Structure 1
Amino acid sequence: MTQNLTETWTGLGEVTASSGVLVLGMGGGIDDWPRCGPPLSERARATAADGGGHLRDGLCEAVAVPACSDRPLAVRARTAPSVFDEEPVIEVLEVDLGMPWPAGRAPEGVRLGDLPVDRCGMVVGDAVALDAWTGIGAPSDNGLADLTYWGRHARAASARFGGEPVGPPYEGGPRGWLDLTVAEAERRAEALAEWTREECQGIGLVWSVEPHTDYYRAQRAGWDHPLEAGTIEVAGCRVLGIGWHPGDHAMRHRGEREAGQVYPVTLHPDADGGSVLRWTVPHREGDDEQEDRA
């Protein structure tokens, strides 16, 4: 699959689902499922056994479906220009489930539910593997962290402390250091804080220590992808994380479910008789209804 955005479809990567159950879920709360009740894998297995469906508990939401367990599953997206900055954004997300379309089922889309666009990103991966997901606020799972800084005095801080451009490339983006020990990242952050207090009256520089969690590593894996998509290994499975530009999210998806900003997730047959999971995130109002009829 190509990552050339001039094509109709853009490849996002491949995932694996060794348990035979695939989840598309809100990335900000993947590790919150056990705090609400049974683990995500337990709920997802029961839902997938009935052909797939929507899961929701508090702020946690996902869709679970049966999927092939013994080969990679391709994920791709159809894009449209963002209403925020006209850069390409996802309007249809599609996952090859590696399963035949059920015999006797009409070749029409089956609606499983709907999902909001999580401002923290989305995750596609194996249900059991995601039980091991380390999320926002979790400690580093490998003892390492990244440190970044930015702001009005970033150039002066760079001259004093060094650091390289970090994150998605754009003018004025953060600088810093990757793969420090957590202790070293915190030590350097304190040095930045002290310098800012003494030299800049305590303003004009912001910094962040990011422990290496699955959530952060998935974000980092998408830095170089035009749709902020990247794969990582979680509990022996390949998991895909998908980011969302905050400006585009604010204009199209702000408020999420509470504001009625939810989008249909469906099962469809493909041209070869297989099954695909499809999430339609409309570029314009009414696009999801058109997609359901397609």
Structure 2
Amino acid sequence: MSETFVDLGFVTAPSGVLVLGMVTWIDEWRELGEPLSVRAGAAAKAGGGHFQEWECEAVAVPAAAGRPLAVRATTAPSAFDEEPTIATLEVELGLPWPAGGDRPVLLGDLPVDRGGMVVGDAVGLDAWTGPEDEPVDGLADLSFWGRYEDEAHARFGGERIPQPGGVNGPYGWLDLPVGEAAARETEISTWRGGLPGRGVATMVEPHTDYFRFRRVGLHHPLHVGAIEVGGCQVLGIDWCQGDHAVRHHGGRDWGQAFPVTLEADGAGGTVLRWTIPPYDEDEGAEEA
């Protein structure tokens, strides 16, 4: 039976090197010595491969530099709630499949990162901003919730922040200047004495790349969001936390790493493919 793919969008790779990596650790590469682009460039020069240091893992491959590269996926029911989740991720590389080759080329394997995955240009991703970095646009989102959220809303204002499935999210504001978001948070958090248990919690989320892709993909059925990083379009793929806890918790240490290959696309081209096999309930029960 043929696979049915859904389009997720496209990425650009002007450096000629494409990376599939774990979102949580993208900004950590530069803290570990050589930047991501140097490591990825070496892997791509060898035809593609997996590289790892500490918790940071990624795969890099050569890719066409002068055109958008389509990204698509097949889906399978989540082990958590049976909602669709990615089973196969495939990225068009814009390069010909080598003559005479007929078998997939195994590059290595990757675990599913709890924070999500990212596909993008190696040099562009050197500029990726993680949760502890400064916002790329000077803005932040502020939300508040809790026992006295309605009273806080009546006093301070704000709107319901949209959530997937039409569920009412917390009250708050989107796209505030960082200083204003911090000042409003202080005002709300010190209301009613500012003591623990007073019934209102607050959160400021600066617009780092880590936050931006998750916000853009909030209403996508597969939690996919396209953003610009380092002058390149990248795709971030968030992951349902319930599905991750049931299926992928433990990652590589528990044998939860999945093959990444180069394969022919059936039309003379080459694709990068990451394949997550169907969930085995018996295997999951044994691991538990």
Do both share a fold (TM > 0.5)? Answer: yes
**Unaligned segments of structure 2, at least 5 residues:** 282-288
Match of 1:232 among 227, 249, 255: 227
Deviation at 1:179, TM superposition (A): 0.9
The number of residue pairs the alignment matches comes to 278
Mapped partners of 2:31, 2:162: distance in 1: 31
Q: Which residue of 2 aligns with 1:30?
A: 26
Q: Which residue of 2 aligns with 1:202?
A: 197
Mapped partners of 1:207, 1:283: distance in 2: 39
Deviation at 1:27, TM superposition (A): 0.3
After TM superposition, list the pairs within 5 Å mapping 1:105-144 onto structure 2.
105=101, 107-144=102-139
Deviation at 1:258, TM superposition (A): 1.9
Q: What is the CA deviation profile of residues 115-167 of structure 1, one whole-angstrom value per residue up to 9, with x for unaligned ones?
A: 11111111100000001111121012221111122333333332332222325
Q: Which residue of 1 aligns with 2:91?
A: 95
| CA 152–109 in structure 1, closer or farther in 2 if over 3 Å, else same | farther
Mapped partners of 1:104, 1:195: distance in 2: 71
After TM superposition, list the pairs within 5 Å mapping 1:39-58 onto structure 2.
39-58=35-54
Mapped partners of 2:99, 2:136: distance in 1: 44
Q: Which residue of 2 aligns with 1:292?
A: none
1:117 maps to a residue whose letter is V
2:86 maps to a residue whose letter is I
Q: Secondary structure at the match of 1:95?
A: strand
141-150 vs 182-191, which deviates more? Answer: 141-150
- Identity rate, percent: 59
Contact 2:161-2:168 at 8 Å conserved across structures: no
| CA 150–260 in structure 1, closer or farther in 2 if over 3 Å, else same | farther
1:61 and 2:57 correspond: yes
After TM superposition, list the pairs within 5 Å mapping 1:272-283 onto structure 2.
272-283=267-278
Mapped partners of 1:244, 1:98: distance in 2: 27
1:262 and 2:257 correspond: yes
Report the TM-score, using the length of structure 2 for normalisation.
0.91
Mapped partners of 1:209, 1:159: distance in 2: 20
After TM superposition, list the pairs within 5 Å mapping 1:176-215 onto structure 2.
176-195=172-191, 197=193, 202-215=197-210
| CA 167–135 in structure 1, closer or farther in 2 if over 3 Å, else same | farther
Contact 2:89-2:274 at 8 Å conserved across structures: yes
Contact 1:108-1:268 at 8 Å conserved across structures: yes
Contact 2:162-2:168 at 8 Å conserved across structures: no
Q: Secondary structure at the match of 2:191?
A: helix
Mapped partners of 1:38, 1:115: distance in 2: 20
Q: Which residue of 1 aligns with 2:285?
A: none
Q: Secondary structure at the match of 1:84?
A: coil
Deviation at 1:44, TM superposition (A): 0.6
Contact 1:167-1:220 at 8 Å conserved across structures: no
201-210 vs 120-129, which deviates more? Answer: 201-210
Deviation at 1:201, TM superposition (A): 6.2
Q: Secondary structure at the match of 2:126?
A: helix
Q: Which residue of 2 aligns with 1:285?
A: 280
Mapped partners of 1:285, 1:115: distance in 2: 18
1:152 and 2:144 correspond: no
Q: Which residue of 1 aligns with 2:17?
A: 21
1:149 maps to a residue whose letter is F
